[in-house]
Copies of this chain bind each other. A is one copy, B any other.
Amino acid sequence: MPIILGIDGGGTSTVAVLSDETGQVLAKVVGGSSNPTAISRLQFESELAKIISKLKEQNENAFEKVECCFAGLSGVKELSFEKIAKSVIQQFYDDTVSIIIENDACIALFSGTLGMPGIVQIAGTGAITYCLDSHNNSYRAGGWGYLFDDEGSGYDLGREALKAVVKSYDHRGTETVLTEKVLNHFQIDSVTKIVDCIYNDEHPRAIIAPLSRYVIEAAEEGDYVAQVILSRAAQQYILAIEACASQARWDVRKELPTVLAGGVFTNFNLFYDVLMKQPMNFQLQFLQPKLIPVGGAIIGGLKQLNEEVTTEFIQNFAEQMKMKY
């Protein structure tokens, strides 16, 4: 029975697991950041090696039986660090073990499509759209960072909440329950005090992105301003999804699987409704991820080994990780 080593590498933490094709999790390690755009090359190499060593310690027997390592690493493709990542992992294995380095968007896709081609719209603190077509070509849109390209990200939605609050205050915009929610959040009694809360902080992004949840709350409560914000974000998701879809080559099928991944989409049903109201040129089938992203990495490994992704695998893996998406 083949064993897969799956890695989900991000800017905040890195998760690595050993799993077999039935979804039996044989080892699991959570480490620090492995995004090389945020840390040095040496730190990147040592963090990755440390995490893999720990997996080995946890279950040396399973570790030795790994037939494929599939890693979804953020920031690695941007720096062309695929070879570096591969050589770190190669130290642990001989040449018979296949090692695949992909970006983190790829495993987010697989966690929803279960290894099939499709599109994933990610919206966490940042936003990016990734597409893998029927001929294994990949495309991306967005992901150019928070300073000029992040529509629909948590940071963007939080910023739109602040915009709406100050525009309501100085008579440029209509009233919104966002005002009350944002004032409560900062425990302040006047809109003018928002400026101090935001600009005095060294990392305003970390202050602003969490406000996105109030946009979602307010939209659920029927607040018009919040609903307009979500509708505009949905327009941007569709724009990016269709930009990818139109370049890709699809084998005939009716609907394109489109995974919505990341913290912004926690209320999937809300976004499903908002998205379905948008005009579209493609028929999109919106999907929730069925596993956390590292599950997508295991699926990538199974795919590489031509193993089927069974319902048993999904259920077992989700159960054992106890972190269903």
Contact call B172/A239, Cβ cutoff below 8 A: yes
Contacts A147-B159, A198-B147, A198-B148 given; does A170 touch B208 at CB 8 Å = no
Residue of B nearest to A244 (CB): B171
Contacts of A140 in B (CB 8 A): 170
Q: Return the contact of A172 from the options B148, B167, B240 (Cβ within 8 A).
A: B240
Residue A249 is within 8 A (CB to CB) of chain B in the complex? no
Contacts of A159 in B (CB 8 A): 147-148
Contact call B141/A163, Cβ cutoff below 8 A: no
Residue of B nearest to A159 (CB): B148
Residue A320 is within 8 A (CB to CB) of chain B in the complex? no
Contact call B208/A148, Cβ cutoff below 8 A: yes
Measured in the bound complex, the distance between the Cα atoms of B142 and A60 in whole Å is 61
Q: Return the contact of A195 from the options B144, B243, B246 (Cβ within 8 A).
A: B144
Min CB gap A257→B, angstroms: 20
Residue of B nearest to A240 (CB): B172
Contact call B247/A147, Cβ cutoff below 8 A: no
Measured in the bound complex, the distance between the Cα atoms of B280 and A282 in whole Å is 38
Contacts A140-B170, A170-B142 given; does A147 touch B208 at CB 8 Å = yes
Contacts of A208 in B (CB 8 A): 147-148
Q: Return the contact of A148 from the options B144, B163, B246 (Cβ within 8 A).
A: B163
Contacts of A147 in B (CB 8 A): 159, 162, 198-199, 204, 208
Min CB gap A302→B, angstroms: 30
Residue A62 is within 8 A (CB to CB) of chain B in the complex? no
Residue A222 is within 8 A (CB to CB) of chain B in the complex? no
Residue of B nearest to A171 (CB): B243
Min CB gap A21→B, angstroms: 36
Residue A149 is within 8 A (CB to CB) of chain B in the complex? yes
Contact call A141/B199, Cβ cutoff below 8 A: no
14 A-B residue contacts at CB 8 Å?
A: A141-B172, A142-B170, A142-B172, A144-B162, A145-B195, A145-B198, A145-B199, A147-B159, A148-B163, A149-B163, A170-B240, A171-B243, A172-B239, A172-B240
Contact call B204/A171, Cβ cutoff below 8 A: no
Contacts of A49 in B (CB 8 A): none
Measured in the bound complex, the distance between the Cα atoms of B75 and A199 in whole Å is 14
Min CB gap A193→B, angstroms: 11
Bitwise interface map of A from 157 to 198 toward B, beta carbon under 8 Å scored 1, else 0 = 001001100110011100000000000000000000011001
Contacts of A166 in B (CB 8 A): 144, 148-149
